[in-house]
Amino acid sequence: MLKVTNLETTYNDIILALKGISIEVSPEKIVAILGANGAGKTTTINAISGIRKTINLEVEDGTIEFDGEILNDKEPYEIVTRGILQVPEGRRIFAELTIAENLMIGAYSLQNRGHFQTNKEMVFNYFPILSERTRQLAGYLSGGEQQMLAIARALVANPKLIMMDEPSLGLAPMIVQEIFEIIRRINHERDMTILLVEQNAHMALAIAHYGYILENGRVVMEGSSKKLRQDKDIREFYLGLSESGGRKSFREVKHYKRRKRWLS
């Protein structure tokens, strides 16, 4: 469905952010991209969404292909009409608009306006709290509710692929759990394809089917989430678990630094 091949991007013509990454998202699956700060997760998503000019991002090499069409030079709004919607990092809801208006804008790309009402009902089914406050300004929602609105805003357009950029950012663990459960349900019940970018590897691998580990602009590891969950290095560096499987105790940490195998 979405196929990114050898993507290489620069910021300001100088800083090489992605050093040739390849990612594939197959239909009806949740694919996770994991990595630390600065690994290139958000850059990947923005390159796919076509946000280039405002952040001085340039695609130097490689292709972004969606349903057989190359999307490298498309503008953001053209990419949305192809059926790819982004839930941006930090939610980026329209704070000065009401919840109803936020959803209205979310459905802007909808060709058939007649579907808006049914889509809205479907979205309210996942996020009942939003349906009670449609006339309230979105800026007054709590962080978790804002994240729900951001997801709802993408979902209401009924896209083919939703890309979520760190839906867990700045939220309490319980809210994160709730939101990930909803993401899982959206994928499961609506066969929605989801590309999930996360730092919270534990949560992401719990719901994803497949995962990529990004470090310094390169894919260092990929595989089914089951395989990733069992990998020794992932367990240690991303999930914080010891070899015996329990939570790692820092009292027992040995005083040498383990190297990640993929660096040698």
Partner 1 sequence: MIMEKIIDIIFSGLSMGAIYALVALGFVLIFKSTGILNFAQGELCMVGAFICYYFATLLNVPYLISILMAIALGAMLGALIDVLIFRRLVGEPIYATIMVTIGLASILVALTGLIWGHDTYSIRSPFIGKTIVAGKMVFAQASLATIVVSIVLFILFIVFFNRSLLGVALKGTAEDSDTAGLMGINVKKMHMLAWTIGALVAGVAGIFLAEQSFVHTGMSHTGIKAMSAAILGGMESLGGAIIGGIIVGVVESFAASYLSGLEMGGFHFGDIKDVAAFAIMILVLMIRPHGIFGKKEVERV
Report the site for partner 1 in 106-135 (rule: CB under 8 A): 106, 108-109, 113
The minimum distance between CB 61 and partner 1, in angstroms, equals 24
Query: Assign residue 13 a region: left if phi > 0, alpha if psi is -120 to 50, beta otherwise?
Result: left
Q: Which stretch binds partner 1 (CB under 8 A): 35-43, 75-83, 186-194, 230-238?
A: 75-83
Q: Reduced to 3 states, what is the DSSP secondary structure of residue 140?
A: helix
Torsion (CA) 166, 171, 172, 173 in degrees, nearest 10: -10
**Inter-residue contact 241 to 248 (CB < 8 Å):** yes
The minimum distance between CB 91 and partner 1, in angstroms, equals 9
138-153 exposure pattern, b = at least 16 Cβ within 10 A, e = fewer: beebeebbbbbbbbbb
Interface with partner 1, residue 168, by CB under 8 A:
no
**Inter-residue contact 120 to 155 (CB < 8 Å):** no
The minimum distance between CB 49 and partner 1, in angstroms, equals 6
Q: Which stretch binds partner 1 (CB under 8 A): 105-113, 215-223, 235-243, 244-252?
A: 105-113
Interface with partner 1, residue 151, by CB under 8 A:
no
The DSSP string of 74-136 is --HHHHHHTTEEEE-TT----TTSBHHHHHHHHGGG-S-TTHHHHHHHHHHHH-HHHHTTTTS
Interface with partner 1, residue 101, by CB under 8 A:
yes
Given 27, 56, 70, 90, the residue binding partner 1 (CB under 8 A)? 90
Given 80, 192, 208, 228, the residue binding partner 1 (CB under 8 A)? 80
Using CA atoms, how far apart are residues 161 and 163, in angstroms rounded to an integer? 7
Using CA atoms, how far apart are residues 214 and 41, in angstroms rounded to an integer? 7
Given 86, 119, 147, 158, the residue binding partner 1 (CB under 8 A)? 86
Given 104, 129, 220, 239, the residue binding partner 1 (CB under 8 A)? 104
The minimum distance between CB 166 and partner 1, in angstroms, equals 13
Interface with partner 1, residue 153, by CB under 8 A:
yes
The minimum distance between CB 181 and partner 1, in angstroms, equals 24
Using CA atoms, how far apart are residues 139 and 260, in angstroms rounded to an integer? 42
Structure token digits, residue 49:
């969404």
Interface with partner 1, residue 76, by CB under 8 A:
yes
The minimum distance between CB 92 and partner 1, in angstroms, equals 4
Nearer to partner 1, 92 or 188 (CB): 92
Interface with partner 1, residue 51, by CB under 8 A:
yes
The residue ranges that bind partner 1 (CB under 8 A) are: 49-51, 54, 75-77, 80-81, 85-86, 88, 90, 92, 94-97, 101-102, 104-106, 108-109, 113, 139, 143, 153, 157, 170
